[in-house]
Amino acid sequence: WDVFTALLAPHAGWRVLIIPALSQQVPTWDIPMEMRWWFCVCSLGILLLVPCALSEKFSLHGSPHPMVGIMGQDVVLPCQLSPQARLANMEVLWRKYSTAFILVHEYSDEGPKDQPGEGYQSRTELFPQEFNNGNVSLKLKRLQEADAGRYHCFVMDPDWSQEITTELRI
C-alpha cells in the first residue's frame, strides 16, 4: 500500500499531491467551513431528490383486494397508470406467477406485439383504445380453475418501469 499512499504538502497557496511517479498541483480555495458544510448538505439534497422526481413521474395502481371471478365467465384485472396518460414507447407485460413467471399477454408500441402468451390464446384482451387514459387492465375470458393465482402487471418505457400484483380467486 505504500506505493499508493499520497502525501499532501502545503506549498505557497497550492497543495502538491505527491504520488510515486506522478506530481500534480491542485488549487485550494479559502472557503469558510460553514460554506463548505452548506454546499455538502445542498448537494446531498439534490442528489437524493433527483431519483425521487424520476421515479414519481408515473405510478401504477391495481386492486388492493383480491379479484373474484366465476368459472366460465370473464374478469378484468385492473391496472391503472397515474397520471392518466400514455407512455411513449410503452410496453405492457401481464404475467402469472406459480412456480415461475408465465407470460399471459404482452404489448409493445414497437413492432406488432399485442399477443397472448402460450395457453392464453383467444382468452386475453387489453384495451389499446384506453391506453391514453392510463388503462392497461387485462380482460381474462372464459375463466378456468387453473387461472386462479397472482398476476403481475409490468409497464415500462425507456425512462421508467413499475409493476403491481393482483390476486385472482375463482
Note the pLDDT tens digit of each residue in 106-159: 998 876 677 788 889 999 999 988 988 999 999 999 999 999 999 999 998 888
Amino acid symbol at 95 = R
Residue 22: pLDDT above 90? no
Per the prediction, the chain carries an average pLDDT of: 77
Residue 18: pLDDT above 60? no
Query: Which band of pLDDT confidence, cut at 50, 70 and 90, is reported for residue 36?
Result: low
pTM of the predicted structure, to 2 decimals: 0.64
* CA proximity to 105, closest of 66, 84, 79: 79
CATH 2.60.40.10 domain residues, the chain: 59-169
Amino acid symbol at 40 = C
From residue 149, give the alpha-carbon distance in Å to each of 42, 117, 144, 164, 166.
Answer: 47, 16, 11, 14, 8
> The domain 59-169: what is its CATH number?
2.60.40.10
pLDDT at residue 109 in the model: 81
From residue 109, give the alpha-carbon distance in Å to each of 89, 158, 165.
Answer: 5, 12, 23
DSSP H/E element including 75: strand 75-77
